[in-house]
Structure 1
Amino acid sequence: MDFTSPPQSLKDNGYTMAPTDPFDSPKDEMESLVEELKKWKKRVEEAEKAKADLLLCKSSAMEECAKAEDALIKLKNLQEKQHKEAIMSRDTHEKELYVLNQENTELKRQIEKLEEDLAECSLMLSRYSQINKEVAEMKMKFTHMEDMKDNYQDMNTHCVFGVTTKIPFRLDENQVLLTFEDKEVAQRLIEIGKHTVNLDNKTADTRVMPFTLEMGIKFKLYVTISGKKINVSEVPELSIPEDWMRDKLELNFYKSEQGGGEVENVTYDKRSRTAVITFLRPGATNSFVRCTEYPFVVNGTWYSLPISPDTSVKLENFQLYCGISKKTILLEGIKEMEDDEESVQDMIEIHFQKPSNNGGEIEKIKYASKGVTWVCFEEDT
C-alpha cells in the first residue's frame, strides 16, 4: 500500500492531506502534558501559599479575638465593680440621711418634751401664785444628782434643777449701774448720797441711790428618770386585739439585743399608739439610754418604734423673792459728754475703783449715754 499518496476520492473533492509522522504525535502530547502538569503544580503551590497565608491570618484573627474577649471581660468586670460601688455609695448616703433624719426627729421630740414641761411649769406657777402678770424669762440651772435616803438603790436617776426668773431693770439716759465686789463699798456710797465724779478734767455732781427691782420667782424642779420603765410611741395600727398587741410588745422587749429583761407589765393605749414597758429588774432601762429607735417585728413586717425614758417632774420650794442687790448702786447726774459711751464708762469705772474716792473693786458697770437700756438681774447663787 502506498502511504504517500492520498486517496483519489479526497483529491477529487479538493482536500489536501499534510504528510504526517506517526512518531511525532506522542511526543507533542507528552510535552503538552508536562506543560499542563507544570501549570497545575504552580497552581497547587500558589494554593498552598494562599492556604498558609489564610492559616496565618486565621491565627492572627483568633489572637485578636482572644484579646478582644479578655478586654470585654475586663470591661464587664469594671462595669460591675463600678455599679456595685455606686450602689454601696448610694446605700451609704441613704443610711447617713436616715440617721440624720432620725437625729432630727429625736431633737424635735426633745424640744416638744421640753416645751411641754415648760408649759406644765407655767401652769403650776399660775396655780401656786396669784400674781396676774407676764412671767419674765427663766433661767434653769442643773444643781446636783440626788441620792435616795437610807442608801436604797432604786436605780432611778434623780436630777434637781434650780429655776429663777431674770428680773429686768430699766436704765434711763445718763444713768449708771455699778456693781462692786464688796457690798460694804456700795452701802457706804449709798449712805453718803452725793458724790462728785471727775471725768476728763470735768466734774459731775451725782446722786447715789439704792434701787428696787420687781419681784422674782424661783423654785426647784425635781426630775426622776425611771430605771424600770420606758415609753414607746408610734405603735403600728394592726387589726389584732389589744391583748395580742401587748403580748407582742412584751415578747419583743424580753431579752432584746439592747438588753432589757423580763417584763413585769405592759400598758398599751391603742388610741394614742403608745405603750409603757415596765421591766422586773431595776436598772434594765440603762441599756436603752443611747437607743432612740427599737425594731419591732409583727407577722414578718419590721417597724421602728421610738423609745424614751419614763420621767416624772415635780415642782417644789416655790418662792417669791425681792430682787435687790446690796452690791449695786444707781448713779444719776452724769451730763452728756462729747466722748463716746465706752470712754465715759471707763472713766467712771476708774474713778470708783480708787479707795480715795470711797470706791473699791468693780464687778460690773453699765452706762446708758443715749436712749433706754434694759439690764437683767439674776439671783446670786
Structure 2
Amino acid sequence: MSSDEDFSLVLENRQPMETLEGQQPMETLEGIQKSISNYKLQYEHLLQEQKELSDSRDDQKDMAEKFRQRSQKLMESLEEDQHAHTKDLDFQKEKLHNLQREENELKSELKVSEAALDETEANNVRLKQQTDLSKADVPEKKVVFSGATGDATTSAQTFDMKAHIVYPMEGGTALITFEDEIVAQKILDMKNHKVGLGDECAITLEAKPIQLMMPRIVEMDTQVCPRRILVSNLPKKDCDILLDKLEIYFAKSRNGGGEVEDCDMLHDSGNVVITFVETNIAKYLADKHYHEVEFEKGKKQRVKVTPFLNGEITKLKNEQAVCARTVLLTGIPAIMEQDNLQDLLEIHFQQASNGGGEVDAFLYNPLGQRTLALFDDEDGLNV
C-alpha cells in the first residue's frame, strides 16, 4: 500500500479537529497534497536554481581564473616591455654618449687638422717665397763653360757639395796621397816598408788604409733671413777695406739701408753677408738687386744684393768610406828634424822601385805633437 493510501486511511478514522481558540480547521488532504506538490515544485525549482547558481559560480570561477591568468600574462608582458624599453633606453643613451664622444674626438681631430693645415699653409708660403727667388736673386759669379753637360732633371734635384773632413793625426804617423789609386793600393798591399835614411840607417813603417765618415744623405730646410743680405760681384780688394766700404754704404738710409749689426766675408765664395738691426731693410735692398758702391774715390762698383738663406739640416746620414788615394804610415820614430824626415819619406814613396809613384800631398806628424789633416771630397789630402 502506498503512502498516500496509508495517509488517507489514517485521516479517515480521525475526527476533524476543531480549531483552537476560534482558528479554522486544518486543510484537507487534497489541500495538503497540493501543498506538498507545490513544495516539491518549489524544491525542484530551488534545486534547479541551486544547480544554475552552482554552474554560474563555476563559470564565474573559470572566468575569474582566466581573467587572473590573462592579467598575469599581461603583467608579465608589461614587465617584459618595460624591461625591453629600459634596455633600449640604456642602449640609446650609450649610443648617444658614444656619438658625443666621437663628436668630441672629431672636433679635436679637426682642430689638429686645422693647425696642421695652418702650418702647411705657412710652410707653403715660406717655400713659395724661396721658390719665387728669380734669376736676378742669385748671387753673381763668373763661370766658364767647360763643355760638359748633364741631365737637367737630375741636376735640378741635387746640390753639389764639397766635403771638408778634419782628421786628427796621432804622433809618429804620416799621411800620403798619391795621384794614382793603383799606387796607393800597391803600397797598402805591401803593408811593411823599409825606408833608408842614409848612413846605413833605416826604419820600418806600416801602411794602413784611411777610413772616414762621409755624408751620404743631407737634407736641409732653408728660409729667407729677414735681417741679412748677400752681396756679390765684389772687386778684388783687401778684406777689411771691402767690409768697411760696404758697411758705410748700407748703413745710410738714403741708400735704403740702416744700422748694420755685423758684416762678414765668405772666403770660399768671395761674397759678403751683412746683418741689419731691423728686419724691414734686407727685403727692400734685395728687391732693388743692384747698388753702386764707391770702393775708391770717384770710382763705383756695381754690386748685386740677393736674399740670404738660413739653412737647417733636417736629415743627415753618414757612411764609412775608405780613401782610395791616401795611405796612413805608422811607426815613424823621431830620429831627425821634421822637415828632413818628411822629405826623405816623400822621396822614398815617389820612387817606382819602392812601389810608389807621383805624390799629390804629404803630411808628417812627429811623436808628441798634434796635427789635424783636412780631406776634401776629391778623396785627397789638403795639407
**TM-score with structure 1 length normalisation?**
0.36
Greater per-residue helix proportion: 2
**TM-score with structure 2 length normalisation?**
0.36
